[in-house]
Structure 1
């Protein structure tokens, strides 16, 4: 995973700087704080936060579901999981199963594209429960695939090495520094 210190990060409080202090009232559970209701729900319920792609190409998030191609039990499980995802989540884009490493991926895998926050909210918890022995790389799609596959990546299960050389060449071809300081 990329060192987060190589990147810049805007303040999480941007746009919330001069608001009155939040109350320090503790809820009846004795552990959590009372939060007053917001005037409106966060836009993140309806669209992904910038710079995440909100279109159908490539879509907001990818889930790469990995399996050991030489392990018959994992091949079977991956095929069954792929079939179940196709049946239960047909609105997602579900790619073919690659039976060997492809692109930056060092294990066999299949990919699922997630297009909306609602789909993300339904599919990711489902995948947490149903991924079985498989590892999953979950990453956003922005204009920086290197950062998406490293610093912005989230793993379900064990992390699998990613060959990032392809992404570095793509950035260099665009005349961007590695890592991008965005």
Structure 2
């Protein structure tokens, strides 16, 4: 099975999860009644396990599979007020999620004020990220995975998770990724939470 290399990262083929991809039956080319979408036969094994647990190497444990950082311009009173009200709303509406300190200054690699929310299940991810698409308002949202990759240094994992694997909603902000080099230089073994 082939792999692909783009911008110094190697990716396995998406079909590598099948023992013999070349032996798979062809997919139908029939269209649904809308005339645009394709008919897909049900999977033999039922729904994908990705509906109930995060795909490896995402963290399905206490750290959570994803961190969601909601960014705001901490020097802008209107932005800060909206962000604080959103932070309160999230704490009231999503108490099952882990919600951290409201930072009115840059912290860690984050260049502006922010607060962090941890997501533990694919179900929570779908509900919360869809909700944020509506309620984030003028704020930007930076979403990154948390991974368990023992073969890769912690700094390298965090760098990749905060860059190549990141998801953005709204305006992108440049991160100070030098912090991840320091993690490896100082032999840090665990990421401090809430920053």
What is the TM-score of this pair, normalised by structure 2?
0.84
Report the alpha carbon displacement of residue 19 of structure 1 after superposing the two structures with TM. Answer: 1.1
- Given the alignment of the two structures, is residue 163 of structure 1 paired with residue 176 of structure 2, yes or no? yes
Report the counterpart of residue 110 of structure 1 in structure 2: 115
What corresponds to 2:130 in structure 1? 125
Runs of 4+ with >6 A deviation: none
**What are the ranges of 5 or more consecutive residues in structure 2 without an aligned counterpart?**
1-5, 149-156, 188-195
| Residue of structure 2 equivalent to 1:149 | 162
RMSD over aligned CA atoms reads: 1.4
Offset from partner CA, 1:44-69 (integer Å, 9 cap, x none): 0011011110012x210000001111
State the 1:5 CA deviation: 1.3
Match of 1:92 among 97, 105, 112: 97
Tell me, what secondary structure is at the counterpart of 1:142?
coil
Count of aligned residue pairs for this structure pair: 171
- Normalised to the residue count of structure 1, the TM-score between the two structures is 0.90
Q: After superposition, what is the alpha-carbon deviation per residue over 1:94-138, rounded to whole angstroms, capped at 9, x for unaligned? A: 001011000111101000000000100110000111000000101
Instruction: Kindly state the Cα deviation for residue 26 of structure 1 after the two structures are TM-superposed.
Output: 1.1
Quote the residue 2:9 is aligned against: 7
Q: Which residue of 2 aligns with 1:179?
A: none
Unpaired segments ≥5 residues, structure 1: 175-182
1:38 Cα offset (Å): 1.1
1:78 matched to 2:91? The reply is no
Describe how 1:13-92 pairs up with structure 2 within 5 A.
13-16=15-18, 17=21, 18-39=23-44, 40-56=46-62, 58-92=63-97
1:171 CA displacement:
3.7
